[in-house]
Structure 1
């Protein structure tokens, strides 16, 4: 069966990901791959489709020429459409190679030429709407690679309220990402200028791209701007800004801006949730391997034990490091009693899951303090799947009562799955 036009057009764009040419161009194309994969999957297309692909060749970046300013845009649009329409009638790699080359050269066009080309494609007769939107989408992908700022304007000017461009959201997202890398403030202003008429450009993902770009240099400014967004997105974006803090100075700037910008506009509950999200994000921004530097900041910043608990909750979600044992010992003297067990359990579970040998060695030498019981419980819950006998030994180190019984019952259940018929004897041995 011959492939449909839209199917082959997607496969041809996949081909642009694989040719060795214009690496900057390809890097932008790869960013759209997720959207293409979703579109292709909906059509039953795999990335490894057997459809024949051409071996296209392109001139190097250094030898690229600029498009002729006098080029006949209407003729170019017609030629492009005709090449696309010929796809189902031809299985020739050469024909597809010509189309790939035509698409690739669009990166040489000026924004005004691209705008004219899109206009011609949009009003062309003899092409169905689905294919029209697809061709326009691909043209915009390539144009956005050359000039992200101009590409964004082209997407907006080409927007059809009765039917979105193919991959429109992904094109905006990727162009904004590129724009924000070089000019995050400009990217944010572009969103502000366009989101009233085109609300879709103000979606959370786009705001995140611009705000995180600004936060690299001015985290306080990024936090301040959160007053302008949907409250349902505010806490999550604030946490992401905090998570990307690069220094203690940036961390404090974020906290100071939270207190000054929102203290009068949010009630106590809302403010509490916002600060909790930000502090957990700040914990995730800390380097757990820099134990001395991170703990010095926590100890010297006038945080309450409850605030330290919230901050370290973000840290505990990170992969374990060589200092995990030191962190757990430090938590004993700095976290509230009611928060300590949960924090130790999270940290020790992750540690055991990744390096049960080192975690076990730490337990062997650990002092009897408030962290010991939750650490043993966490260790048993993870080690039971690889060393059930070791889990049994450690479970018996727990104090008699519900915690020990729960651990032993878990071990009994796992043992039964490994050694059928062993559960009853295990429970009898331990009086369960």
Structure 2
């Protein structure tokens, strides 16, 4: 039967993996945690188990007897859920099966990690559940446990052989679960995760590789970028450049970028001078500022102005900005670059962005240029604009070039216009060259 609840375990895991990559799981986890917490508090109150209020005060101490009572309640919940799953599995009518699985799923979502682990072991041991239903249940529960208690999944790995009808798929499932669990565990405790990987590398040679290790560091970097960087050597990652890039890309907010920048400065300060040190820091800064640029002009410039970039770092930032970052605020960005980049470093990015803007919308670029205040940004922009329009409107380009002060910049712009002058206008081109002494 083709039932929507009968999803393969591999597909279940893949769905969650994709969700984690795009960030959807963060929102989902918050929603489910709130629901689970509300339910847990309600049940705990009924059992007399201590709960903590918003002010952080517990109603009473949790005793050993309380914990035993709570554990018994969890076991009872697992037993009830397992009976529900068995009942749904045994149903003959598709509509009845789907309805029962849906009812069970509502409770599975709210199941805590300890109870989830217990249920997984019970499902694994069962010999009567239909294979497709068993795969679907395990796929959902294992994916959930990867997120909530990844260490438990690592302990379960030896018991996961034979859960599908294909040995290769079993291996793929195991390696996928291993990678997801390590990444999630690394977010919380990268040192313990690294230790586990070192101790178990021989058992899982295909799964515990540089890619997995870098994934762990990406998760760790969201909480502690300095610790993540320190773990690169401890985890014996061969491609250090890739690891640093991934750690840097984990900084998605202004606060995270600032913390990561500080960690990067400290990390690279400990390396010997050389290309690896200089090039590595340059690449890392380009990644950080690229993230800031993507947030738009107001947020991006605010971070650049408050992150205490030194002159060399600010020059790197300028070299990283592109027209697709500035877009609707290109005029504001050009002015900011002219005022904030070190002397001698503003020309290249301003000229590059102005050239692209002119190519895509020369009229809007020209309107801004006509009202732009005098300064470094306008001077470089005039040169770029004149060079760009000279290919199809050389006379207009000449007019703009002549607004530049007499000197090497104007002379260089006039020579560029002459070089770009349309070939079919040879007489006008020659007259222009003669007028301005261009040979």
Mark the runs of 5 or more structure 2 residues left unpaired by the alignment: 23-34, 44-69, 162-166, 402-412, 431-439
Match of 2:230 among 224, 238, 259: 224
Q: CA deviation at 1:327?
A: 2.9
- The question of whether the paired residues in 1 share the 8 Å contact of 2:386 and 2:397 is answered with yes
Partner of 2:192: 189
Q: CA deviation at 1:393?
A: 4.7
TM-score, scaled relative to structure 2: 0.58
What is the total number of aligned residue pairs between the two structures? 352
Match of 2:107 among 105, 110, 115: 105
Q: 1:330 to 1:163 in 2, by over 3 A?
A: same
CA distance in 1, matches of 2:175, 2:362: 44
Q: 1:355 to 1:324 in 2, by over 3 A?
A: farther
- The question of whether the paired residues in 2 share the 8 Å contact of 1:121 and 1:136 is answered with yes
Mark the runs of 5 or more structure 1 residues left unpaired by the alignment: 17-27, 38-58, 410-425
RMSD between superposed Cα atoms in Å? 5.3
CA deviations 1:80-113 (Å, max 9, x no partner) are: 3673575xx6331x42121022133234545454
CA deviations 1:207-253 (Å, max 9, x no partner) are: 244232233xxx43333223333315234225425775637676344
Partner of 1:344: 350
Q: Counterpart of 1:334 in 2: which secondary structure? A: coil
- The question of whether the paired residues in 2 share the 8 Å contact of 1:137 and 1:165 is answered with no
Aligned: 1:234 with 2:236: no
Match of 1:294 among 304, 322, 335: 304
CA distance in 2, matches of 1:263, 1:156: 42
Q: Greater Rg, structure 1 or structure 2?
A: 2
- The question of whether the paired residues in 1 share the 8 Å contact of 2:153 and 2:181 is answered with yes
Q: CA deviation at 1:263?
A: 2.3
Match of 2:325 among 314, 318, 321: 318
Aligned: 1:360 with 2:366: yes
- The question of whether the paired residues in 2 share the 8 Å contact of 1:223 and 1:257 is answered with yes
CA distance in 2, matches of 1:128, 1:377: 72
Q: What are the within-5 Å matches in structure 2 for residues 86-101 of structure 1? A: 90-92=93-95, 94-101=96-103
Partner of 1:263: 272
Q: CA deviation at 1:151?
A: 5.3
Partner of 2:219: 210
Q: What are the within-5 Å matches in structure 2 for residues 269-308 of structure 1? A: 269-284=275-290, 288-289=297-298, 291=301, 294=304, 301=310, 303-304=311-312, 307-308=313-314
Q: 1:132 to 1:327 in 2, by over 3 A?
A: same
Partner of 1:141: 143
